[in-house]
Structure 1
């Protein structure tokens, strides 16, 4: 049972792009240079396009850019300056805090994400889970994290 004022975070096996509930907003991590040439970021870039729209938002490390597609938001969590960098824990946490603020401002309650920060960025999965829990505690959001 899900209470309307309780944060709910679940990790499930499945394909983020085909298995997420309809209407869920999506989010993933990128670099400030918006290269998105590898991993799931490359899939986001090809699927949702909008590179110029993202560039025009002029977001920096620790902030979140977004696109609106099919009545939902696609969030780009900027955790590092260049695509070949690894995010610091401080920048990862700052960016997730901004994601919460942006979601609250836009009324986003349901978010589907990949295992952010853990792939090419090499942050430990347990750390990522803990940061997501701490960041969104007290919100009334539901976050589903997908892994293949």
Structure 2
């Protein structure tokens, strides 16, 4: 009888093992195999659907716009030359020319700037020295006075011109100026070479969202 009891218990535990523990062990084996397979596979990028949150959508739009601007920034700067009178430039374009820190403006195109826009006292009050820029505002445009020398009778250098251009660029950035009309600045009576001046312009403004139109006055 004792032997029959042991045999019955053996059969009972065999059935439990096959129906319960064996299933658990098989499931664990499958999970372990799947885990190993995932580790061996390369990681894939998870692309999430657009969120419906207004704040996050705005952030996504802002980042996308910034990316587009960064990618296309190098193609937005443009420098062209035309024949004509600088003062016939559209009012959408700000103007710029070179002066001395004394703002005498007694020769060259500076004379026309002085006659048309005046306000010499206001320019002097800004206290700009060589390498800086003074400004006046005429309606929606700015008039830039690139101070490239201490006195009007002196001569500018390429370094002082570049410093003035950088100062003007910073003002333009802060005030969203994207169109500029100029003569061949620093050339003429100031004696700089246009090839070198245009190279300075390209160096300072490359990458800016800016259109520069150079007006060459040709008497008829």
Query: Displacement, 1:99?
Result: 1.1
Of residues 83, 97, 103, the one that matches 1:13 is 83
Runs of 4+ residues deviating >3 angstroms? none
In the alignment, the residues of structure 1 paired with residue 145 and residue 107 of structure 2 have an alpha-carbon distance, to the nearest angstrom, of 15
Structure with greater strand percent:
1
Aligned partner of residue 185 in structure 2, secondary structure: coil
In the alignment, the residues of structure 2 paired with residue 73 and residue 92 of structure 1 have an alpha-carbon distance, to the nearest angstrom, of 19
Of residues 89, 96, 99, the one that matches 1:30 is 99
Of residues 85, 93, 113, the one that matches 2:154 is 85
Segments of structure 1 that go 5 or more residues without pairing to the other structure are none
Query: Displacement, 1:144?
Result: 0.4
Kept in 1, the 8 Å contact 2:99–2:146? The answer is yes
* Residue-pair matches, total: 144
In the alignment, the residues of structure 2 paired with residue 10 and residue 134 of structure 1 have an alpha-carbon distance, to the nearest angstrom, of 15
Of residues 107, 110, 125, the one that matches 1:41 is 110
In the alignment, the residues of structure 2 paired with residue 54 and residue 122 of structure 1 have an alpha-carbon distance, to the nearest angstrom, of 24
Query: Displacement, 1:72?
Result: 1.0
C-alpha offsets along residues 86-143 of structure 1, whole Å, 9 cap, x if unaligned? 1011111111111111111111100000110001111001001100011100100110
Which structure has the larger Rg over C-alpha atoms? Answer: 2
TM-score, normalised by the number of residues in structure 1: 0.94
Query: Displacement, 1:58?
Result: 0.8
In the alignment, the residues of structure 2 paired with residue 88 and residue 112 of structure 1 have an alpha-carbon distance, to the nearest angstrom, of 21
Query: Displacement, 1:65?
Result: 0.3
Look up the match of 2:213. Answer: 144
In the alignment, the residues of structure 2 paired with residue 27 and residue 63 of structure 1 have an alpha-carbon distance, to the nearest angstrom, of 13
Query: Displacement, 1:45?
Result: 0.5
C-alpha offsets along residues 38-64 of structure 1, whole Å, 9 cap, x if unaligned? 010010001001111111111111111
TM-score, normalised by the number of residues in structure 2: 0.64
CA RMSD of aligned residues (A): 1.0
Structure with greater helix percent:
2
Look up the match of 1:76. Answer: 145
Look up the match of 1:133. Answer: 202
